[in-house]
Chains A and B, each alone.
Chain A
Amino acid sequence: MGGLAQMKLVGPPKMLDVRGITKRFGGLVAVSSVDLSVSEGEIVSLIGPNGAGKTTLFAIIAGFLTPDEGEVTLNSSSINGLKPHKICQRGMVRTFQITQPFSGLTTLENIMVGAYANTTDYNIARSDAERVAEMVGMSSQLDKSADGLTVAGRKRLELARALATNPKLLLLDEVMAGLNPTEIDEVVKIIKNIRDSGVTIFLIEHVMKAVINLSDRTYVLNDGTLIAQGTPHSVASDPMVIEAYLGHGAAETMKDRAQK
């Protein structure tokens, strides 16, 4: 793992760099001095048990919360204290774990709001939105009202809207939660296509199959602290990680069982 980290240092430049981020809510330390980075062209995932602070960390990175300590750098300039819309204009956009559609608008109108980040022209925004809709497989639902979409549809809409802003870095917060296996496979394919089109991706995910399938690297957050990082396979077999998910002693038990 040391060798891999070294290679990363001389590899592609860091697009997103998070240094010593801490966030407290009253007495609760939700995120505690977290360091992580995402390089251009990567798919990096952030996993961890419920309540680990993943979404809080995302909210800090995207400018929805201000950290108590630490700094977030995007393309070597600090984005601390910038409002979310400014961060979006710099090329980083987030989706929401609990989907936030513009309910009264149609799918097309929803995606166009994202597309308007780069143009003032109705027709350009419309054709951009239609292109993105095709990419995420929503072309047949363009005229449907957003509040009439299924869970899978809403998750895709989150993705499409964010993608329509033409980001360099996409923060995806559990876009696969609540989907069935077929839908998950489709979204995995879509995310790979998005990466191949030149977008760097940082995602929070609980669906391990997808995490292993997609990620170049994985970070594990537990109780607000990073407890492991590396390739998804190495992380999945890390005793600390297993204990974080399954409880104290779980790693030992699993090892014993495997030996029997």
Chain B
Amino acid sequence: MSRNGALMLLVSAVVLLLAPYFIESKFYLDVLTLIFFTAYIGQSWNVLGGYAGQFSFGGVMFFGTGAYASTILLTTFGVPPIIGIFAAIFAGASLGFIVGYMSFRSGLRGSYFALITLAFAELLRVLANSVEFTGGGVGLFLTYAPGLHNIQFDSPVGFYYFSLLLLTISILIALWLERSRFGAQLAAIRENQDAAEALGIDTLRCKIYAIMIMGGMGGAAGTFYAQKYLYLDPPIAYSISLSVEMLLVTIVGGMGTVFGPLIGAFVLHIVNEITRHFIDTPGLSLIVYGVILVVIISYLPNGLMGLFKSRSKASDDGGLGPDETGGTSKDA
């Protein structure tokens, strides 16, 4: 990373760490917590979708499974969530392994893979509804007992810092992907799987590792969510809207970039809050929100991060236009 980038990162880290001392409003702290949470879970989607190019529509399955794992451990066996969160990570990663092994081994790519993940998430929702140990449709209630061991806090500041911790970890993972062999292998798979395979990359293994990382991250998010909202039922645990939200923030922010999910989460939450605040007619705010989404996606195919990138790329590629088109048509 460039020096300027490192400096900016340091400044924003300090600002975010000190934010609770300046922001008095519980509401705004809560909004920030939610933004960080969304950015975190967006980043989990980004590992598989952005870096490895394998789109999933059912990312929520890891969130829900992690949430159930730690919550059931807590309510049935009294395991504190600070340990349960690791069980949640394990559960998410294991589910990632199962789904990844089954679908990538049989060669599912593109929309077929996306749909199979959606099917898995729906399957789990139905299952969670019908078995006993999840509490079925009634759901599971958690008791409120603040303390770090419970990942519960008596003020929004605690949740703010915990979500900031999750966000930091997710950004470190993305930074690692940017500069590691594994990250390069995922990018190769995203750009051209056959060529990646020809160059010695075990594409199946790499994709399974990527979905396991996504699963582990999603699992931890589930624990955090359950401890914050103290209630879990199948429609929450396996909601399609969270699956959509995690890919939306990443696509709007910029897929395969370190800060795409965070920027996307910021912008979408702020747009959402503003439209809700200023527009009173019921439903209209959603329409405006949708229109803004359409505009962003159609004019910024590389997301908001593309605004920065395309400018620097344009200066690199100057003057290559004719050659480029000639090359493509001849080669294709």
Give the residue of B180, B316, B331 whose beta carbon is less than 8 angstroms from that of A143. B316
Query: Which residues in chain B, 310-332, are within 8 Å of chain A measured between CB atoms?
Result: 313, 316-317, 320, 323-324, 326-328, 330-332
A100 near B331: Cβ-Cβ < 8 Å = no
Give A64 to B197 CA distance when docked, in angstroms.
9
Is A212 close to B, CB under 8 A?
A: no
Known contacts A103-B191, A104-B191, A144-B317; decide if A113 and B330 are in contact (CB<8 Å): no
Question: What 8 new A-B contacts, CB under 8 Å, besides A93-B198, A148-B317?
Answer: A64-B198, A93-B200, A100-B195, A102-B187, A113-B199, A113-B201, A145-B317, A151-B331
A112 near B184: Cβ-Cβ < 8 Å = yes
Q: Which residue numbers of A lie inside 8 Å of B, CB to CB? A: 62, 64, 83-85, 88-89, 93-96, 98-105, 109, 112-114, 116-117, 119-122, 125, 143-145, 147-151, 153-154, 161-162, 165, 178
B-side binding surface: helix, strand, loop or mixed?
helix
A116 near B198: Cβ-Cβ < 8 Å = no
Give A103 to B331 CA distance when docked, in angstroms.
14
B324 near A113: Cβ-Cβ < 8 Å = no
Known contacts A104-B190, A105-B187, A122-B179; decide if A161 and B199 are in contact (CB<8 Å): yes
B185 near A113: Cβ-Cβ < 8 Å = yes
29 contacts between A and B (CB under 8 A): A64-B194, A85-B198, A85-B199, A85-B201, A88-B199, A89-B200, A93-B198, A93-B199, A96-B194, A96-B198, A102-B187, A102-B192, A102-B196, A104-B256, A105-B191, A109-B187, A113-B185, A119-B181, A120-B180, A120-B181, A121-B181, A122-B181, A125-B181, A144-B316, A145-B317, A147-B324, A149-B324, A162-B198, A165-B199
Known contacts A102-B188, A105-B191, A109-B184; decide if A151 and B196 are in contact (CB<8 Å): no
* CB-defined contacts of A121 to chain B, threshold 8 Å: 181
Q: Which residue numbers of B lie inside 8 Å of A, CB to CB? A: 179-181, 184-185, 187-188, 190-192, 194-203, 256, 313, 316-317, 320, 323-324, 326-328, 330-332
Give the residue of B184, B196, B317, B330 whose beta carbon is less than 8 angstroms from that of A178. B330
B324 near A98: Cβ-Cβ < 8 Å = no
Closest Cβ of chain B to A143, distance in Å, is 6
Known contacts A96-B198, A112-B184, A150-B327; decide if A145 and B313 are in contact (CB<8 Å): yes
Give A145 to B200 CA distance when docked, in angstroms.
22
* CB-defined contacts of B330 to chain A, threshold 8 Å: 151, 178
B317 near A85: Cβ-Cβ < 8 Å = no
Which residue of chain B lies nearest to A146 when distances are taken between CB atoms in the complex? B191
A117 near B326: Cβ-Cβ < 8 Å = no
Give A149 to B317 CA distance when docked, in angstroms.
10
Closest Cβ of chain A to B212, distance in Å, is 19
Give A175 to B197 CA distance when docked, in angstroms.
19
B326 near A113: Cβ-Cβ < 8 Å = no
Closest Cβ of chain A to B184, distance in Å, is 5
Give A149 to B201 CA distance when docked, in angstroms.
24
* CB-defined contacts of B317 to chain A, threshold 8 Å: 144-145, 148
* CB-defined contacts of A149 to chain B, threshold 8 Å: 324, 327
* CB-defined contacts of A103 to chain B, threshold 8 Å: 191-192
* CB-defined contacts of B188 to chain A, threshold 8 Å: 102, 105, 113
* CB-defined contacts of B202 to chain A, threshold 8 Å: 83, 85
A94 near B200: Cβ-Cβ < 8 Å = no
* CB-defined contacts of A83 to chain B, threshold 8 Å: 197, 202
Which residue of chain A lies nearest to B320 when distances are taken between CB atoms in the complex? A148
Known contacts A116-B184, A116-B185, A148-B320; decide if A100 and B197 are in contact (CB<8 Å): no
Closest Cβ of chain B to A227, distance in Å, is 29
Give A64 to B185 CA distance when docked, in angstroms.
19
Closest Cβ of chain B to A129, distance in Å, is 10
Known contacts A122-B180, A150-B326; decide if A85 and B203 are in contact (CB<8 Å): yes
A102 near B195: Cβ-Cβ < 8 Å = yes
